[in-house]
Homo-oligomer: A and B are copies of this chain.
Amino acid sequence: MERTVQESMKQLIIGEALPNIPWEEKPAGCQDVVWRSKKNPIIPRDLLRTSNSIFNSAVVPFQGKFAGVFRCDDRRRRMQIHSGRSDDGINWVIKEEPINFICADPEIAEFTYGRYDPRVCWIEDRYYVTWCNGYKGYPTIGLAYTYDFEEFHQLENAFLPFNRNGVLFPRKIKGKYAMLSRPSDNGHTPFGDIFYSESPDLCYWGKHRYVMGATTGWQATKIGAGPTPIETTEGWLLIYHGVLTSCNGFLYSAGAALLDLDEPWKVIHRTSSYIISPQTIYENVGDVPNVVFPCAALCDAATGRIAIYYGAADTVTCLAFAQVEELIDFIKEDAKK
Protein backbone atom coordinates (compact mmCIF):
# COMPACT_ATOMS: atom_id res chain seq x y z
CA MET A 1 0.00 0.00 0.00
CA GLU A 2 1.30 3.46 -0.82
CA ARG A 3 1.91 6.05 1.81
CA THR A 4 -0.19 9.14 1.30
CA VAL A 5 1.80 12.28 0.95
CA GLN A 6 0.32 13.77 4.05
CA GLU A 7 1.13 10.82 6.22
CA SER A 8 4.67 10.44 5.06
CA MET A 9 5.37 14.12 5.54
CA LYS A 10 4.46 14.18 9.16
CA GLN A 11 6.95 11.57 9.88
CA LEU A 12 9.99 13.35 8.51
CA ILE A 13 10.64 17.05 9.08
CA ILE A 14 10.56 18.02 12.72
CA GLY A 15 9.47 21.60 12.57
CA GLU A 16 6.76 23.99 11.58
CA ALA A 17 4.61 24.34 8.55
CA LEU A 18 5.59 27.02 6.04
CA PRO A 19 2.60 27.20 3.75
CA ASN A 20 3.97 30.11 1.74
CA ILE A 21 7.24 28.38 0.94
CA PRO A 22 8.33 29.19 -2.63
CA TRP A 23 7.50 26.18 -4.69
CA GLU A 24 7.36 24.78 -8.20
CA GLU A 25 6.29 21.23 -8.93
CA LYS A 26 8.83 18.87 -10.42
CA PRO A 27 8.68 19.08 -14.23
CA ALA A 28 7.10 16.11 -15.97
CA GLY A 29 9.71 13.57 -16.97
CA CYS A 30 12.31 14.93 -14.59
CA GLN A 31 13.95 12.08 -12.74
CA ASP A 32 16.21 14.16 -10.55
CA VAL A 33 15.75 14.47 -6.83
CA VAL A 34 16.40 18.21 -6.96
CA TRP A 35 14.99 20.46 -9.69
CA ARG A 36 15.64 24.08 -10.57
CA SER A 37 13.27 27.03 -10.49
CA LYS A 38 12.14 28.22 -13.87
CA LYS A 39 12.71 31.76 -12.59
CA ASN A 40 16.44 31.26 -12.09
CA PRO A 41 18.43 33.23 -11.43
CA ILE A 42 15.96 34.75 -9.01
CA ILE A 43 18.41 37.47 -7.98
CA PRO A 44 20.46 39.03 -10.79
CA ARG A 45 24.03 40.16 -10.25
CA ASP A 46 23.12 43.82 -10.44
CA LEU A 47 20.02 43.96 -8.27
CA LEU A 48 21.87 46.62 -6.33
CA ARG A 49 23.14 49.58 -8.30
CA THR A 50 26.64 48.98 -6.98
CA SER A 51 26.75 45.22 -6.90
CA ASN A 52 29.02 43.11 -9.03
CA SER A 53 27.29 39.92 -7.96
CA ILE A 54 24.79 38.61 -5.37
CA PHE A 55 25.15 34.96 -4.43
CA ASN A 56 25.85 32.42 -1.65
CA SER A 57 23.10 33.95 0.46
CA ALA A 58 20.78 32.86 3.22
CA VAL A 59 17.05 33.33 3.79
CA VAL A 60 14.60 32.45 6.57
CA PRO A 61 10.89 32.80 7.23
CA PHE A 62 10.30 36.09 8.99
CA GLN A 63 7.05 37.50 10.30
CA GLY A 64 4.97 35.57 7.84
CA LYS A 65 7.19 36.66 5.00
CA PHE A 66 10.88 36.22 4.41
CA ALA A 67 14.14 37.87 5.38
CA GLY A 68 17.69 37.09 4.52
CA VAL A 69 21.34 38.00 4.56
CA PHE A 70 22.99 38.32 1.17
CA ARG A 71 26.52 38.24 -0.08
CA CYS A 72 26.84 41.27 -2.33
CA ASP A 73 30.26 41.81 -3.83
CA ASP A 74 30.62 45.39 -4.97
CA ARG A 75 32.52 46.62 -7.98
CA ARG A 76 35.76 46.74 -6.09
CA ARG A 77 35.05 43.09 -5.55
CA ARG A 78 34.84 43.71 -1.83
CA MET A 79 32.79 41.01 -0.21
CA GLN A 80 30.01 42.29 2.05
CA ILE A 81 26.79 41.01 3.52
CA HIS A 82 23.51 42.91 3.31
CA SER A 83 20.10 42.27 4.82
CA GLY A 84 17.00 41.92 2.65
CA ARG A 85 13.29 41.27 2.71
CA SER A 86 10.83 39.50 0.49
CA ASP A 87 7.12 38.85 0.47
CA ASP A 88 7.37 35.62 -1.48
CA GLY A 89 10.93 34.43 -1.10
CA ILE A 90 11.57 35.09 -4.75
CA ASN A 91 11.43 38.81 -5.29
CA TRP A 92 13.84 40.46 -2.92
CA VAL A 93 14.58 43.96 -1.75
CA ILE A 94 18.14 44.16 -0.51
CA LYS A 95 19.51 47.14 1.35
CA GLU A 96 22.04 49.24 -0.49
CA GLU A 97 24.31 49.43 2.51
CA PRO A 98 26.04 46.43 4.04
CA ILE A 99 25.05 45.38 7.53
CA ASN A 100 26.65 47.66 10.07
CA PHE A 101 27.29 45.34 12.98
CA ILE A 102 26.91 46.66 16.51
CA CYS A 103 29.93 45.64 18.50
CA ALA A 104 31.72 47.19 21.43
CA ASP A 105 35.10 45.47 21.21
CA PRO A 106 37.25 46.85 18.41
CA GLU A 107 39.12 43.54 18.18
CA ILE A 108 35.87 41.84 17.16
CA ALA A 109 34.81 44.65 14.90
CA GLU A 110 38.18 44.61 13.17
CA PHE A 111 37.53 44.38 9.45
CA THR A 112 40.24 44.09 6.87
CA TYR A 113 39.21 41.34 4.55
CA GLY A 114 35.49 41.07 3.80
CA ARG A 115 32.46 39.17 4.99
CA TYR A 116 30.91 36.48 2.85
CA ASP A 117 28.88 33.31 2.44
CA PRO A 118 26.39 34.00 5.28
CA ARG A 119 24.03 31.51 6.86
CA VAL A 120 21.04 32.44 9.04
CA CYS A 121 19.61 30.22 11.76
CA TRP A 122 16.76 30.71 14.24
CA ILE A 123 17.61 29.39 17.70
CA GLU A 124 15.19 29.79 20.57
CA ASP A 125 14.47 33.51 20.48
CA ARG A 126 16.43 35.13 17.73
CA TYR A 127 18.18 34.79 14.41
CA TYR A 128 21.87 34.03 14.35
CA VAL A 129 24.02 34.86 11.39
CA THR A 130 27.30 33.10 10.73
CA TRP A 131 29.61 34.02 7.89
CA CYS A 132 33.18 33.88 6.75
CA ASN A 133 34.65 36.83 8.60
CA GLY A 134 37.96 38.48 7.89
CA TYR A 135 39.93 38.96 11.11
CA LYS A 136 43.32 40.57 10.62
CA GLY A 137 42.97 39.57 7.01
CA TYR A 138 42.33 35.89 7.72
CA PRO A 139 39.06 34.02 7.26
CA THR A 140 37.26 32.68 10.32
CA ILE A 141 33.66 32.26 11.43
CA GLY A 142 31.89 35.48 12.32
CA LEU A 143 28.79 35.31 14.51
CA ALA A 144 26.00 37.79 15.19
CA TYR A 145 22.36 37.86 16.13
CA THR A 146 19.36 39.90 15.14
CA TYR A 147 15.76 40.06 16.19
CA ASP A 148 14.55 42.13 13.30
CA PHE A 149 17.06 42.10 10.43
CA GLU A 150 17.64 45.76 11.18
CA GLU A 151 20.05 45.65 14.08
CA PHE A 152 22.74 43.01 14.09
CA HIS A 153 24.85 42.42 17.18
CA GLN A 154 28.26 40.93 16.51
CA LEU A 155 29.68 38.35 18.93
CA GLU A 156 33.15 36.85 19.25
CA ASN A 157 34.48 34.95 16.28
CA ALA A 158 33.81 31.31 16.94
CA PHE A 159 37.19 29.91 15.98
CA LEU A 160 40.76 30.71 15.25
CA PRO A 161 41.54 31.29 11.58
CA PHE A 162 41.48 29.68 9.10
CA ASN A 163 37.91 28.59 8.80
CA ARG A 164 34.95 28.90 6.46
CA ASN A 165 31.39 27.61 6.10
CA GLY A 166 30.36 27.80 9.73
CA VAL A 167 26.78 26.52 10.02
CA LEU A 168 24.82 26.47 13.30
CA PHE A 169 22.33 23.77 14.23
CA PRO A 170 18.83 25.19 14.81
CA ARG A 171 18.64 24.02 18.42
CA LYS A 172 20.95 23.13 21.26
CA ILE A 173 22.11 19.54 21.30
CA LYS A 174 22.50 18.03 24.73
CA GLY A 175 22.34 21.51 26.15
CA LYS A 176 25.04 22.97 23.97
CA TYR A 177 25.04 25.16 20.90
CA ALA A 178 26.47 23.25 17.97
CA MET A 179 28.22 24.31 14.79
CA LEU A 180 29.63 22.67 11.72
CA SER A 181 32.63 24.30 10.09
CA ARG A 182 35.39 23.64 7.63
CA PRO A 183 38.96 24.43 8.68
CA SER A 184 40.88 25.76 5.70
CA ASP A 185 43.87 27.86 4.77
CA ASN A 186 44.17 31.41 3.58
CA GLY A 187 43.74 30.97 -0.18
CA HIS A 188 41.74 28.88 -2.61
CA THR A 189 42.01 26.01 -0.13
CA PRO A 190 42.57 22.69 -1.93
CA PHE A 191 41.39 20.56 1.00
CA GLY A 192 38.57 20.67 3.51
CA ASP A 193 36.51 18.44 5.77
CA ILE A 194 33.49 19.15 7.96
CA PHE A 195 33.98 19.29 11.73
CA TYR A 196 31.53 19.64 14.60
CA SER A 197 32.08 21.87 17.63
CA GLU A 198 29.94 22.71 20.63
CA SER A 199 29.63 25.67 22.96
CA PRO A 200 27.88 26.40 26.24
CA ASP A 201 27.46 30.08 25.42
CA LEU A 202 28.34 30.82 21.75
CA CYS A 203 31.58 32.37 23.02
CA TYR A 204 33.82 29.43 23.96
CA TRP A 205 33.92 26.40 21.66
CA GLY A 206 35.34 22.94 22.09
CA LYS A 207 34.82 19.18 21.87
CA HIS A 208 35.65 19.35 18.21
CA ARG A 209 34.75 16.24 16.24
CA TYR A 210 35.49 15.18 12.72
CA VAL A 211 32.23 14.63 10.83
CA MET A 212 33.14 13.73 7.28
CA GLY A 213 35.71 14.55 4.65
CA ALA A 214 36.43 14.83 0.97
CA THR A 215 36.32 11.49 -0.81
CA THR A 216 36.26 11.05 -4.58
CA GLY A 217 34.50 12.28 -7.67
CA TRP A 218 32.51 15.49 -7.32
CA GLN A 219 33.60 15.78 -3.67
CA ALA A 220 37.24 14.75 -4.08
CA THR A 221 38.92 18.06 -3.19
CA LYS A 222 36.89 19.46 -0.31
CA ILE A 223 33.42 19.68 1.16
CA GLY A 224 31.56 22.19 3.32
CA ALA A 225 28.22 22.42 5.08
CA GLY A 226 25.52 24.32 3.22
CA PRO A 227 22.16 25.31 4.68
CA THR A 228 21.24 25.04 8.35
CA PRO A 229 20.67 21.32 8.97
CA ILE A 230 17.02 20.28 8.83
CA GLU A 231 15.83 18.15 11.72
CA THR A 232 14.03 15.01 10.56
CA THR A 233 12.97 11.79 12.13
CA GLU A 234 15.79 10.17 10.17
CA GLY A 235 18.48 12.45 11.49
CA TRP A 236 19.79 15.89 10.67
CA LEU A 237 19.43 16.43 6.94
CA LEU A 238 22.56 18.19 5.79
CA ILE A 239 22.90 19.57 2.29
CA TYR A 240 26.55 20.31 1.58
CA HIS A 241 28.81 21.31 -1.27
CA GLY A 242 31.68 19.33 -2.69
CA VAL A 243 34.48 20.32 -5.00
CA LEU A 244 36.17 18.47 -7.85
CA THR A 245 39.41 19.84 -9.31
CA SER A 246 39.49 19.55 -13.08
CA CYS A 247 42.42 20.66 -15.21
CA ASN A 248 40.58 23.97 -15.48
CA GLY A 249 39.89 24.57 -11.80
CA PHE A 250 37.28 23.87 -9.15
CA LEU A 251 33.77 22.59 -9.88
CA TYR A 252 31.25 22.96 -7.05
CA SER A 253 28.31 20.54 -6.76
CA ALA A 254 26.00 19.64 -3.86
CA GLY A 255 25.14 16.42 -2.05
CA ALA A 256 23.30 15.50 1.13
CA ALA A 257 23.79 13.46 4.28
CA LEU A 258 21.92 12.35 7.38
CA LEU A 259 23.63 12.94 10.70
CA ASP A 260 22.82 11.40 14.06
CA LEU A 261 20.39 13.61 15.97
CA ASP A 262 22.25 13.41 19.28
CA GLU A 263 25.81 12.98 18.08
CA PRO A 264 25.75 14.80 14.77
CA TRP A 265 29.40 13.97 14.03
CA LYS A 266 28.19 10.46 13.31
CA VAL A 267 27.16 10.15 9.68
CA ILE A 268 24.24 7.79 9.13
CA HIS A 269 24.04 8.08 5.36
CA ARG A 270 25.71 10.21 2.76
CA THR A 271 25.20 10.49 -0.97
CA SER A 272 27.92 9.28 -3.24
CA SER A 273 26.23 11.11 -6.10
CA TYR A 274 25.64 14.83 -6.22
CA ILE A 275 22.05 16.01 -6.03
CA ILE A 276 22.75 19.06 -8.18
CA SER A 277 25.78 20.11 -10.21
CA PRO A 278 26.51 23.05 -12.54
CA GLN A 279 24.71 22.31 -15.79
CA THR A 280 22.93 25.51 -16.79
CA ILE A 281 24.41 28.56 -18.42
CA TYR A 282 24.02 30.62 -15.23
CA GLU A 283 25.86 27.96 -13.23
CA ASN A 284 28.54 27.26 -15.85
CA VAL A 285 29.32 30.87 -16.80
CA GLY A 286 30.04 33.85 -14.56
CA ASP A 287 32.74 35.26 -12.33
CA VAL A 288 33.67 31.74 -11.28
CA PRO A 289 32.54 29.16 -13.83
CA ASN A 290 30.91 25.91 -12.67
CA VAL A 291 29.68 26.70 -9.19
CA VAL A 292 26.54 25.51 -7.39
CA PHE A 293 26.78 26.62 -3.75
CA PRO A 294 23.73 26.15 -1.47
CA CYS A 295 23.57 28.32 1.67
CA ALA A 296 19.98 28.11 2.82
CA ALA A 297 16.90 25.94 2.68
CA LEU A 298 13.32 26.71 3.61
CA CYS A 299 11.17 23.76 4.51
CA ASP A 300 7.53 23.16 5.11
CA ALA A 301 7.09 20.37 7.65
CA ALA A 302 3.47 19.95 6.60
CA THR A 303 4.24 19.00 3.02
CA GLY A 304 7.89 18.04 3.14
CA ARG A 305 8.72 20.69 0.58
CA ILE A 306 12.22 22.09 0.61
CA ALA A 307 13.32 25.21 -1.24
CA ILE A 308 17.09 25.40 -1.60
CA TYR A 309 18.78 28.74 -2.18
CA TYR A 310 22.14 28.53 -3.88
CA GLY A 311 24.72 30.75 -5.47
CA ALA A 312 25.49 30.08 -9.13
CA ALA A 313 28.86 30.79 -10.74
CA ASP A 314 29.68 33.11 -7.82
CA THR A 315 27.48 35.60 -9.66
CA VAL A 316 23.75 35.17 -9.06
CA THR A 317 21.32 33.60 -6.60
CA CYS A 318 19.14 30.67 -7.61
CA LEU A 319 16.45 28.42 -6.25
CA ALA A 320 15.89 24.68 -6.46
CA PHE A 321 13.35 22.33 -4.97
CA ALA A 322 13.12 18.92 -3.37
CA GLN A 323 10.64 16.76 -1.48
CA VAL A 324 12.05 15.68 1.84
CA GLU A 325 10.92 12.04 1.68
CA GLU A 326 12.26 11.69 -1.82
CA LEU A 327 15.52 13.30 -0.85
CA ILE A 328 15.95 11.11 2.21
CA ASP A 329 15.15 8.02 0.17
CA PHE A 330 17.72 9.11 -2.36
CA ILE A 331 20.36 9.62 0.33
CA LYS A 332 19.73 6.18 1.75
CA GLU A 333 19.64 4.48 -1.61
CA ASP A 334 22.60 6.28 -3.11
CA ALA A 335 24.73 5.71 -0.03
CA LYS A 336 24.41 1.99 -0.56
CA LYS A 337 25.92 2.00 -4.03
Contacts and interface: CB of A to CB of B under 8 A. Distances in A.
Contacts of A199: 204, 206
Contacts of A209: 107
Given A160-B163, A246-B288, A289-B289, A75 B210 contact: no
What is the copy number of this chain in the assembly?
6
Given A76-B272, A248-B248, A273-B75, A183 B207 contact: no
B250 A250 contact: no
Nearest to A198: B204
A217 B273 contact: no
A249 B248 contact: yes
Interface string A310-337: 0000100000000000000000000001
Given A76-B217, A77-B244, A273-B75, A203 B207 contact: yes
Given A273-B74, A277-B52, A284-B286, A210 B247 contact: no
Given A217-B76, A284-B285, A156 B207 contact: yes
Interface centre among A75, A162, A163 (most CB of B within 10 A): A75
A116 interface: no
Interface in A229-245: 244-245
Give chain A's interface secondary structure class: loop
Given A204-B200, A206-B205, A249-B248, A161 B188 contact: no
Interface in A147-198: 156-163, 181, 183, 185-186, 188, 191, 193, 195, 197-198
A290 interface: yes
B217 A156 contact: no
11 contacts: A76-B216, A76-B272, A77-B217, A107-B265, A135-B208, A157-B208, A159-B208, A160-B160, A162-B183, A198-B204, A205-B205
